Amino acid sequence: MNLTPKEIVAYLDKYVIGQNAAKKTIALALRTRYRRMQLDETLQNEIMPKNILMIGSTGVGKTEISRRLAKMMSVPFIKVEASKYTEVGFVGRDVESMIRDLVVNSISIVKAEQEESNRDKIDNYVLNKIVEKLLPPLPESASESKKDDYQMLLSAMEKRVEAGEMDDKIITLDLAKLNIEFDDSGLPPEMAKVQESFSKVFASINKEDNTKEVSVKDAKSLLRQEASQKLLDTASVNAEALRRAENGGIIFLDEIDKIALSEKSSGRNDPSKEGVQRDLLPIVEGSSVSTKYGTINTDHILFIAAGAFHVSKPSDLIPELQGRFPLRVELESLTEETLYQILTQTQNSLLKQYIALLGVEGMTLTFEDEAIRAIAKLAHRANENTEDIGARRLHTVLENILEETSYDADEYSGKEFVITKDLVHSKLDEVVEDDDLSRYIL
Ligand SMILES: Nc1ncnc2c1ncn2[C@@H]1O[C@H](COP(=O)(O)OP(=O)(O)OP(=O)(O)O)[C@@H](O)[C@H]1O
Ligand SMILES: [Mg+2]
């Protein structure tokens, strides 16, 4: 989390081309949270996060930026779609559930950290249990020399288990029943409570141990779970997780334009859109939300909202909500050059994906640079002529070029296949030039 803004931008640069304004704003917001955490408590409480609104047409990298951030950061982070929620009182998920999801995310981060720090203990526990099963213990009455031999055997066995030589052996395990964890993220709070008491009942029914025949390999992972659960102090994990979600949590609210009420579509506006916006107000501004793990205050949670705002405008959001997203960044539309860079310079670009996929068939796929230029050019033209769907256009364009090749890949096993500029043009010229055709195909 203590990456500098420049480092965050540098990381994002590997995956998202351009959009520097957005990257900078977000990197700064993240750094500000880090700075705030270094201050003394009274000042900390005064400094509120400045929520961000990202505006940019479809397929220009809004969600991609957040997806990458989520992977990079070890702070509690969730990405939710605003359009998924309904007004309180209606059937569906209410907006408070996003805070609960954030806490759940935070808990899994803290748990993973604890497991990491308990790693040696867990490893030991697993090894001892397995060796115990593989080597029957020596009777108490055994002579000293027997005991020495046994020690030798024991350490030899430990080595073999660690090296995985015994993985196929079957042993009988007595496992303590693991706590039953329901995935309750979709439940409304009242149900979540009912379900919690259910888990308690189940836990008491399942008190008796269960005995299982498993391979050593499976035993390793089963025992690992058991050990980490035994070592975990649930109360302190929950407290730490709540604290982190409160102070460092980030919620990425995607598709926020879908809950704006636009004049154009006023005929079909469903009343719950405005309700959802109103329900969002207290959460974004700061309020207490009760979760299964304790109450959390949302004052310092950072919200990053994003939307294409094709049909509606940011000003179509209710004013109170607009005001709660003071930082606005716009994402640029993609040019031919950006499309080319997206194809060639991103870490797991589409081209690399196709090359890897067809590599499985033993086919060596290569793209001439001129061909890639042509792809970018045609994708850009298709965006201009029909709808601008940003980088997503590359998916359809590439699929069109490669479909046949991909189908016949088995014939090229061990051979090279070069995508040339001519091939690209022969596949696509007709489609791109013909508006009607490209509306259907690209
Ligand atoms: N600037 C970019 N650099 C690299 N890849 C990009 C860029 N913009 C878009 N992409 C790619 O295009 C696809 C769609 O992008 P993304 O999901 O970010 O769109 P979006 O801006 O969220 O659009 P929407 O408003 O429709 O949700 C992703 O696969 C992403 O990798
Ligand atoms: Mg998106």
- Return d(Cα 213, Cα 219) in angstroms, integer: 9
* Short-list 1, 68, 59, CA closest to 34: 1
| Residue bearing the CA closest to ligand 1, atom 25 | 58
Global model pTM greater than 0.85: no
Q: How far is the CA of 330 from the centre of ligand 1 (A)?
A: 14
- Return d(Cα 211, Cα 70) in angstroms, integer: 39
Cβ atoms of 160 and 169 within 8 Å: the answer is no
The residues, any chain, with a CB within 8 Å of residue 359's CB and separated by 6 or more, are: 365
The residues, any chain, with a CB within 8 Å of residue 247's CB and separated by 6 or more, are: 33, 37, 300
**Closest ligand, as measured to the CA of 69:** 1
Bridge partners (DSSP) listed for residue 296:
289
pLDDT at 196 over 80: no
Bridge partners (DSSP) listed for residue 174:
211
**Closest ligand, as measured to the CA of 67:** 1
For 268, which DSSP code?
A: G
237-277 tens-digit pLDDT: 999 999 999 998 999 999 999 888 876 655 555 667 888 99
> What's the chain's length in residues?
442
Residue type, 263: E
pLDDT band at 207; cut points 50, 70, 90 = low
**Closest ligand, as measured to the CA of 349:** 1
pLDDT value of residue 72: 84
> What sign for the dihedral angle of Cα 275, 277, 283, 289?
positive
Ligand 1 atom closest to the CA of 17, numbered from 1: 3
Choose which residue among 9, 58, 60, 387 to substitute to test ligand 1 binding: the one with the highest number of ligand atoms within 8 A of its C-beta. Answer: 60
Q: How far is the CA of 306 from the centre of ligand 2 (A)?
A: 8
Whether the CB of 388 sits within 6 Å of ligand 1:
no
Cβ atoms of 59 and 392 within 8 Å: the answer is yes
Out of 1-10, 87-96, 371-380, which region has the weakest mean confidence (pLDDT)? Answer: 87-96
Q: How far is the CA of 292 from the centre of ligand 2 (A)?
A: 30
Q: How far is the CA of 308 from the centre of ligand 2 (A)?
A: 8
Q: How far is the CA of 56 from the centre of ligand 1 (A)?
A: 10
The secondary structure of 42-95, three-state, reads HHHHHCCCCCEEEECCCCCCHHHHHHHHHHHCCCCEEEEEHHHECCCCCCCECC
Phi, psi of 30 (to 5 degrees): -65, -40
388-428 tens-digit pLDDT: 899 999 999 999 999 999 999 888 888 999 999 999 999 88
- Return d(Cα 81, Cα 235) in angstroms, integer: 31
Whether the CB of 16 sits within 6 Å of ligand 1:
yes
* Short-list 433, 439, 323, CA closest to 377: 433
pLDDT at 175 over 80: no
Whether the CB of 308 sits within 6 Å of ligand 1:
yes
Report the share of the chain in percent with pLDDT over 90. Answer: 44
Choose which residue among 17, 23, 53, 63 to substitute to test ligand 1 binding: the one with the highest number of ligand atoms within 8 A of its C-beta. Answer: 63
Per-residue pLDDT averaged across 298-306, rounded?
94
pLDDT at 181 over 70: no
51-109 tens-digit pLDDT: 999 999 999 999 899 888 878 878 899 999 998 888 887 777 888 999 999 999 999 99
Average pLDDT, the chain: 86
* Whole-number Cα distances in Å, 249 to 49, 100, 126, 231, 266: 11, 11, 34, 26, 35
